Amino acid sequence: TKTPRVALVTGTASGIGEAVVDHFRELGHQVLAVDFNEQAAEKAEAVGAVFFRADLTDADACRAAVDEAVKRFGRVDILVNNAGIQHVSSIEDFPEAKWRQIVDLMLTAPFLLSQACWPSMRDNGWGRIVNIASVHAQVASPGKAAYISAKHGLIGLTKTAALEGGSQGITANAICPAYVKTPLVDNQIADQARLHGMEEQEVIEQVMLKNAAIKRLIEPAEVAQMVAYLASDAAGAVTGSSWNIDLGWTAQ
C-alpha cells in the first residue's frame, strides 16, 4: 500500500522486529518502535522511527506505549506484536518465573496492546493486528513448554480479534515462521551445540532444519515482507488466519 500508516512494532532491537521497522519506514509508515533494550533506540533513530522504552511484561508499560503512539502520531493503524524470548528446559525442571515471564511477554502483552489500540482502530474504521507467532504455534518440540503454549495461545487471540474486528475494519492475522536468522536463534544454535556436543553447522543442518524441505534459515526481511502485506489495504479480506513461512516444515 502507498497509504502512510502509523505502526506500533514491539521487539525492535534486533531480528524480525528491526527488519519490520526498516521495511515500514521504506514504505513511508510512521513507526513507534517499542523495546526494553536501549539498542533499539539507535536502530530506530537510524531509520527515522521513534523509540519508546518499555518492558512489555509490565501491563502499565504496554498501555503507556500505545498512549505514546497516540500522543505522537494521533492514532495507531498497525500493531505488530513481535517481542519474544525463549527458554529451553523440560517441563519437570521449567522455572515457574520463566513460564510467567514468557506468557506475560508473548501472550498477555499482545492482548493488552490489542486492547489499548482498539479504540483508535475502531474510531478510524481501519486497523491491522499482525502477531508474530511461530511454527511452534502449530506443532511442538520438546523443551519449550512456555514458548509453545504462549504461541499456541496467540493464535487463539488472533482468531478472537478477527471475529470481533470484522465489523469494525480491523483485521488480525498471525505469521508462523520456522528458524529465522536472528540473535534469538544464534543463541539457540550455540546452546544446542553445547548440549549435543556438535558443531554449530551440524546443529543448523541436523537439528534446526531436520523437518525443513528447504535447507536454509529464513531472513528477517522475508518475514517483514509478509508483515507488510498483512498490514496493507490489499489484505483487507484476510483475517483470523495463520501464515506459515516455515520452509515446508509443517507440510509433512
| Cα–Cα distance, 219 to 232 (Å, whole number) | 21
11 binds ligand NAD (CB under 6 A): yes
Write out the three cell numbers for 243: 501464515
Residue among 54 and 116 whose Cβ is closer to ligand NAD:
54
Among 20, 49, 113, 132, binds ligand NAD (CB under 6 A): 132
Helix (H) or strand (E) holding 171: strand 170-177
* Residue, CB closest to ligand NAD: 15
Taking the C-alpha atoms of residue 6 and residue 9, their distance in angstroms, rounded to an integer, is 10
CB of 35 to ligand NAD, least distance (A): 4
Rule CB under 6 A: choose which of 30, 32, 35, 249 binds ligand NAD.
35
Are the beta carbons of 226 and 177 closer than 8 angstroms?
no
Binding segment toward ligand NAD, per CB under 6 A, in 48-56, 119-127, 159-167, 196-204? 48-56
179: annotated active-site residue: no
Return d(Cα 98, Cα 17) in angstroms, integer.
22
Question: At residue 163, what are phi and psi to the nearest 5 degrees?
Answer: -65, -45
Work out whether 192 is an interface residue with ligand NAD (CB under 6 A).
no
- The residue among 16 and 78 lying less far from ligand NAD, judged by its C-beta, is 16
How many C-beta neighbours within 10 Å does residue 95 have? 11
d(CA 26, CA 182): 21
Check 52, 147, 179, 243 and give the catalytic one: 147
Binding site for ligand NAD (CB under 6 A): 11-17, 35-37, 40, 54-57, 82-85, 105, 132, 134, 177, 179-180, 182-185
Catalytic residues: 147
